[in-house]
Amino acid sequence: MSVSMRRRLLVGALGTAALLVALAPAGAASAGNRNHGSSVSVGNLVLQPTERGYRGTLPITITLRGTADVLPVVTVTEPVGGSFTGLLPEGPCFPLNDGPRRTVNCTIDRFEPGERRTVYAEFEVLTDARRYPMVATGGRVDVSVDSVPVRGGEAFSALFRSTTGSVRHPLPYVQDTVADGSVRVGPAVLNQQADGGYAGQVSITVGYRSDAPHDELQVQLGLPEGVRTGEGVFCPFARCVVPGGEFMPGEVRTFDVPLTAEADTVAGPLGDATAQLHLPYGNTETPDSNPADNAATFTVTAVPAA
Protein backbone atom coordinates (compact mmCIF):
# COMPACT_ATOMS: atom_id res chain seq x y z
CA MET A 1 0.00 0.00 0.00
CA SER A 2 1.39 3.42 -0.96
CA VAL A 3 2.25 6.15 1.51
CA SER A 4 -0.55 8.35 0.17
CA MET A 5 -3.09 5.55 0.64
CA ARG A 6 -1.91 4.95 4.20
CA ARG A 7 -2.12 8.67 4.98
CA ARG A 8 -5.75 8.68 3.85
CA LEU A 9 -6.47 6.16 6.59
CA LEU A 10 -5.77 8.97 9.05
CA VAL A 11 -9.30 10.39 9.10
CA GLY A 12 -10.45 13.31 11.25
CA ALA A 13 -10.71 12.88 14.98
CA LEU A 14 -14.49 13.41 15.04
CA GLY A 15 -16.12 10.19 16.14
CA THR A 16 -12.83 8.65 17.25
CA ALA A 17 -13.84 8.27 20.87
CA ALA A 18 -17.11 6.60 19.93
CA LEU A 19 -15.35 4.16 17.61
CA LEU A 20 -12.77 3.19 20.21
CA VAL A 21 -15.51 2.58 22.77
CA ALA A 22 -17.30 0.36 20.26
CA LEU A 23 -14.13 -1.60 19.56
CA ALA A 24 -13.07 -1.96 23.21
CA PRO A 25 -13.99 -5.22 24.97
CA ALA A 26 -16.40 -5.27 27.87
CA GLY A 27 -15.14 -5.09 31.42
CA ALA A 28 -13.26 -1.79 31.43
CA ALA A 29 -13.36 -1.75 35.22
CA SER A 30 -10.93 -4.65 35.31
CA ALA A 31 -8.44 -3.10 32.88
CA GLY A 32 -6.04 -2.21 35.66
CA ASN A 33 -5.84 -5.88 36.67
CA ARG A 34 -5.34 -6.94 33.05
CA ASN A 35 -2.52 -4.43 32.60
CA HIS A 36 -0.63 -5.54 35.71
CA GLY A 37 2.74 -6.84 34.57
CA SER A 38 2.21 -5.61 31.00
CA SER A 39 4.81 -3.47 29.26
CA VAL A 40 5.72 -1.60 26.09
CA SER A 41 9.17 -0.79 24.72
CA VAL A 42 10.39 0.93 21.57
CA GLY A 43 13.48 0.49 19.45
CA ASN A 44 15.38 3.10 17.48
CA LEU A 45 13.98 5.22 14.67
CA VAL A 46 16.72 5.78 12.11
CA LEU A 47 15.54 7.65 9.02
CA GLN A 48 17.39 6.64 5.88
CA PRO A 49 17.94 9.15 3.05
CA THR A 50 16.15 8.20 -0.17
CA GLU A 51 15.60 9.79 -3.56
CA ARG A 52 12.52 11.39 -2.00
CA GLY A 53 13.16 12.48 1.56
CA TYR A 54 13.84 10.15 4.50
CA ARG A 55 12.09 6.96 5.58
CA GLY A 56 12.32 4.76 8.63
CA THR A 57 10.48 2.31 10.88
CA LEU A 58 10.11 2.29 14.67
CA PRO A 59 9.63 -1.15 16.30
CA ILE A 60 7.16 -1.18 19.20
CA THR A 61 7.08 -4.32 21.36
CA ILE A 62 3.99 -4.87 23.51
CA THR A 63 3.52 -7.53 26.18
CA LEU A 64 0.02 -7.83 27.67
CA ARG A 65 -0.68 -9.97 30.72
CA GLY A 66 -4.07 -10.98 31.99
CA THR A 67 -6.81 -13.52 31.44
CA ALA A 68 -8.88 -11.92 28.67
CA ASP A 69 -8.43 -10.98 25.03
CA VAL A 70 -7.96 -7.22 24.55
CA LEU A 71 -7.76 -4.61 21.80
CA PRO A 72 -4.82 -2.36 22.72
CA VAL A 73 -4.56 1.22 21.46
CA VAL A 74 -1.13 2.50 20.42
CA THR A 75 -0.69 6.28 20.75
CA VAL A 76 2.15 7.79 18.72
CA THR A 77 3.33 11.40 18.98
CA GLU A 78 5.39 12.42 15.95
CA PRO A 79 8.94 13.74 16.35
CA VAL A 80 8.46 15.50 12.98
CA GLY A 81 5.19 17.02 11.83
CA GLY A 82 3.31 14.98 9.23
CA SER A 83 5.86 12.15 9.31
CA PHE A 84 3.74 9.24 10.61
CA THR A 85 2.38 7.23 7.67
CA GLY A 86 0.92 4.11 9.29
CA LEU A 87 1.27 1.13 11.60
CA LEU A 88 2.19 -2.37 10.41
CA PRO A 89 0.40 -4.75 10.69
CA GLU A 90 -2.10 -2.09 9.78
CA GLY A 91 -4.91 -0.97 12.07
CA PRO A 92 -7.25 2.01 11.91
CA CYS A 93 -5.45 5.22 12.94
CA PHE A 94 -7.00 8.54 13.94
CA PRO A 95 -5.19 11.85 14.57
CA LEU A 96 -6.10 13.52 17.85
CA ASN A 97 -4.90 16.98 16.79
CA ASP A 98 -3.87 18.95 13.72
CA GLY A 99 -0.26 19.41 14.70
CA PRO A 100 2.09 20.63 13.48
CA ARG A 101 3.31 17.46 15.28
CA ARG A 102 0.34 15.12 15.48
CA THR A 103 -0.63 12.59 18.10
CA VAL A 104 -2.27 9.54 16.52
CA ASN A 105 -4.28 6.68 18.04
CA CYS A 106 -4.10 3.26 16.34
CA THR A 107 -6.21 0.26 17.39
CA ILE A 108 -4.43 -3.00 16.60
CA ASP A 109 -5.61 -6.59 16.32
CA ARG A 110 -6.83 -8.43 19.39
CA PHE A 111 -4.19 -9.74 21.79
CA GLU A 112 -4.53 -13.12 23.45
CA PRO A 113 -3.79 -13.35 27.20
CA GLY A 114 -0.03 -13.11 27.81
CA GLU A 115 0.79 -12.37 24.17
CA ARG A 116 3.95 -10.50 23.15
CA ARG A 117 3.96 -8.80 19.77
CA THR A 118 6.01 -6.26 17.82
CA VAL A 119 4.33 -3.74 15.56
CA TYR A 120 6.05 -1.16 13.38
CA ALA A 121 5.31 2.56 13.08
CA GLU A 122 6.35 3.90 9.68
CA PHE A 123 7.64 7.43 9.14
CA GLU A 124 8.49 9.56 6.12
CA VAL A 125 9.99 13.06 6.19
CA LEU A 126 9.75 14.94 2.91
CA THR A 127 12.81 17.15 3.13
CA ASP A 128 16.04 17.32 1.16
CA ALA A 129 18.64 14.76 2.27
CA ARG A 130 21.70 16.34 3.90
CA ARG A 131 25.36 15.38 3.96
CA TYR A 132 25.29 15.61 7.76
CA PRO A 133 23.17 13.64 10.28
CA MET A 134 20.27 15.29 12.10
CA VAL A 135 18.03 14.50 15.04
CA ALA A 136 14.45 15.46 15.97
CA THR A 137 13.19 14.88 19.49
CA GLY A 138 9.73 14.84 21.06
CA GLY A 139 8.38 11.53 19.78
CA ARG A 140 6.53 9.28 22.20
CA VAL A 141 4.74 5.92 22.22
CA ASP A 142 2.13 4.86 24.78
CA VAL A 143 -0.16 1.84 24.85
CA SER A 144 -3.48 1.58 26.67
CA VAL A 145 -6.26 -0.93 27.18
CA ASP A 146 -9.73 0.46 27.90
CA SER A 147 -8.08 3.88 28.45
CA VAL A 148 -5.79 2.46 31.16
CA PRO A 149 -2.10 3.03 30.28
CA VAL A 150 0.23 0.07 29.99
CA ARG A 151 3.46 0.48 31.96
CA GLY A 152 6.54 1.46 30.00
CA GLY A 153 5.47 4.16 27.54
CA GLU A 154 8.64 5.66 26.05
CA ALA A 155 9.93 8.81 24.42
CA PHE A 156 11.89 8.43 21.19
CA SER A 157 13.83 10.57 18.73
CA ALA A 158 14.18 10.46 14.96
CA LEU A 159 17.81 10.13 13.87
CA PHE A 160 18.45 11.18 10.26
CA ARG A 161 21.31 9.29 8.66
CA SER A 162 23.48 11.49 6.43
CA THR A 163 23.89 10.85 2.72
CA THR A 164 27.40 9.61 3.56
CA GLY A 165 26.04 7.06 6.03
CA SER A 166 26.97 8.82 9.26
CA VAL A 167 24.81 9.15 12.38
CA ARG A 168 27.52 10.67 14.61
CA HIS A 169 27.23 14.17 16.08
CA PRO A 170 23.81 14.97 14.60
CA LEU A 171 22.58 18.54 14.27
CA PRO A 172 19.01 19.46 15.25
CA TYR A 173 16.48 19.10 12.46
CA VAL A 174 14.32 22.24 12.28
CA GLN A 175 11.20 21.77 10.19
CA ASP A 176 9.50 24.67 8.44
CA THR A 177 6.20 25.74 9.97
CA VAL A 178 5.24 28.08 7.12
CA ALA A 179 4.80 26.94 3.53
CA ASP A 180 5.36 28.78 0.25
CA GLY A 181 3.05 27.40 -2.40
CA SER A 182 2.15 28.82 -5.80
CA VAL A 183 -0.23 28.17 -8.67
CA ARG A 184 -0.13 29.11 -12.36
CA VAL A 185 -2.87 28.40 -14.88
CA GLY A 186 -2.99 28.62 -18.65
CA PRO A 187 -6.03 29.59 -20.78
CA ALA A 188 -8.65 26.92 -21.42
CA VAL A 189 -10.04 26.24 -24.90
CA LEU A 190 -13.14 24.05 -25.25
CA ASN A 191 -13.66 22.58 -28.73
CA GLN A 192 -17.06 21.54 -30.00
CA GLN A 193 -17.54 17.77 -30.16
CA ALA A 194 -19.56 15.57 -32.52
CA ASP A 195 -22.53 15.58 -30.12
CA GLY A 196 -22.58 19.39 -30.05
CA GLY A 197 -21.10 19.72 -26.58
CA TYR A 198 -17.72 21.27 -25.80
CA ALA A 199 -14.66 19.67 -24.20
CA GLY A 200 -11.15 20.79 -23.40
CA GLN A 201 -8.82 21.14 -20.46
CA VAL A 202 -6.98 23.63 -18.30
CA SER A 203 -3.30 23.12 -17.46
CA ILE A 204 -2.41 23.89 -13.81
CA THR A 205 1.12 24.19 -12.41
CA VAL A 206 1.62 23.95 -8.63
CA GLY A 207 4.87 24.60 -6.77
CA TYR A 208 5.85 24.07 -3.12
CA ARG A 209 8.99 25.65 -1.63
CA SER A 210 9.03 24.36 1.95
CA ASP A 211 9.18 21.22 4.09
CA ALA A 212 6.28 22.37 6.27
CA PRO A 213 3.86 19.48 6.91
CA HIS A 214 0.83 19.24 4.64
CA ASP A 215 -1.59 16.76 3.11
CA GLU A 216 -2.34 16.44 -0.60
CA LEU A 217 -2.62 19.94 -2.07
CA GLN A 218 -5.85 21.09 -3.70
CA VAL A 219 -6.78 23.65 -6.34
CA GLN A 220 -10.27 25.12 -6.07
CA LEU A 221 -11.69 26.20 -9.42
CA GLY A 222 -14.24 28.95 -9.96
CA LEU A 223 -15.61 28.37 -13.47
CA PRO A 224 -17.91 30.43 -15.70
CA GLU A 225 -21.57 29.46 -15.68
CA GLY A 226 -22.19 26.27 -17.64
CA VAL A 227 -18.58 25.05 -17.50
CA ARG A 228 -17.87 21.96 -15.40
CA THR A 229 -14.92 19.74 -14.56
CA GLY A 230 -14.85 16.46 -16.49
CA GLU A 231 -13.63 13.00 -15.59
CA GLY A 232 -9.97 12.18 -15.12
CA VAL A 233 -9.00 14.19 -12.02
CA PHE A 234 -10.47 13.90 -8.53
CA CYS A 235 -12.33 17.21 -8.06
CA PRO A 236 -14.91 16.92 -5.27
CA PHE A 237 -16.81 20.20 -4.74
CA ALA A 238 -14.65 21.83 -7.46
CA ARG A 239 -11.49 21.25 -5.36
CA CYS A 240 -9.10 19.29 -7.54
CA VAL A 241 -6.56 17.16 -5.68
CA VAL A 242 -3.08 17.63 -7.11
CA PRO A 243 -1.91 14.14 -8.24
CA GLY A 244 1.22 12.65 -6.75
CA GLY A 245 0.69 13.03 -3.00
CA GLU A 246 2.59 15.41 -0.74
CA PHE A 247 5.33 17.67 -2.14
CA MET A 248 9.06 17.75 -1.64
CA PRO A 249 10.62 21.22 -1.10
CA GLY A 250 11.08 22.94 -4.46
CA GLU A 251 8.92 20.43 -6.32
CA VAL A 252 6.77 21.66 -9.22
CA ARG A 253 4.00 19.63 -10.88
CA THR A 254 1.76 20.32 -13.85
CA PHE A 255 -1.53 18.50 -14.36
CA ASP A 256 -4.55 18.90 -16.62
CA VAL A 257 -8.16 19.20 -15.51
CA PRO A 258 -10.76 18.28 -18.16
CA LEU A 259 -13.53 20.85 -18.69
CA THR A 260 -16.86 20.49 -20.46
CA ALA A 261 -19.81 22.65 -21.54
CA GLU A 262 -23.26 21.75 -22.89
CA ALA A 263 -24.27 21.86 -26.55
CA ASP A 264 -26.40 25.00 -26.06
CA THR A 265 -23.33 27.00 -25.01
CA VAL A 266 -22.81 30.06 -27.21
CA ALA A 267 -19.37 29.85 -28.81
CA GLY A 268 -16.81 32.49 -27.95
CA PRO A 269 -15.32 33.81 -24.70
CA LEU A 270 -17.18 32.28 -21.74
CA GLY A 271 -15.60 34.51 -19.12
CA ASP A 272 -12.80 34.50 -16.59
CA ALA A 273 -12.17 31.63 -14.21
CA THR A 274 -10.18 31.44 -10.97
CA ALA A 275 -7.85 28.91 -9.38
CA GLN A 276 -7.13 29.00 -5.63
CA LEU A 277 -4.41 26.81 -4.11
CA HIS A 278 -5.20 25.22 -0.73
CA LEU A 279 -2.62 23.65 1.60
CA PRO A 280 -4.69 21.33 3.81
CA TYR A 281 -3.25 19.71 6.92
CA GLY A 282 -5.81 17.72 8.88
CA ASN A 283 -8.76 19.99 9.59
CA THR A 284 -6.73 23.17 9.07
CA GLU A 285 -4.40 24.63 6.42
CA THR A 286 -0.65 25.14 6.56
CA PRO A 287 0.04 28.91 6.68
CA ASP A 288 1.68 30.37 3.58
CA SER A 289 4.39 33.04 3.55
CA ASN A 290 3.15 34.57 0.27
CA PRO A 291 -0.59 33.96 -0.24
CA ALA A 292 -0.69 36.31 -3.24
CA ASP A 293 0.70 33.68 -5.62
CA ASN A 294 -1.76 31.05 -4.40
CA ALA A 295 -4.45 32.48 -6.70
CA ALA A 296 -4.61 32.85 -10.47
CA THR A 297 -7.15 33.76 -13.14
CA PHE A 298 -7.58 32.34 -16.63
CA THR A 299 -9.90 32.64 -19.58
CA VAL A 300 -12.28 30.00 -20.93
CA THR A 301 -13.22 30.06 -24.63
CA ALA A 302 -15.63 27.82 -26.57
CA VAL A 303 -14.61 27.17 -30.17
CA PRO A 304 -17.27 25.92 -32.63
CA ALA A 305 -16.62 23.03 -34.98
CA ALA A 306 -15.17 24.02 -38.33
- Candidates 275, 110, 247; CA nearest to 179 is 247
Return the CATH architecture of domain 181-303.
Sandwich (2.60)
Domain definitions of the chain by residue range: 3-172, 181-303
Q: What's the sign of the alpha-carbon dihedral 43, 44, 50, 53?
A: positive
pTM, to two decimals: 0.85
Tell which residue, 187, 203, 223, 193, has the closest CA to residue 303.
Answer: 193
Q: What is the pLDDT of residues 134-177, one digit of tens each?
A: 999 999 999 998 888 887 789 999 999 999 999 999 999 999 99
Q: Report the alpha-carbon distance of residue 53 to residue 305 in Å, rounded.
A: 48
Over residues 27-56, the pLDDT tens digits come to: 333 444 455 568 899 999 999 999 999 999
Q: What is the DSSP letter of 179?
A: B
How far is CA 52 from each of CA 8, 209, 246, 282, rounded to the nearest angstrom? 19, 15, 11, 22
The domains spanning 3-172 and 181-303 adopt the same CATH topology? yes
Mean pLDDT of the region 98-109: 92
DSSP state of 291: G
> What's domain 3-172's architecture?
Sandwich (2.60)
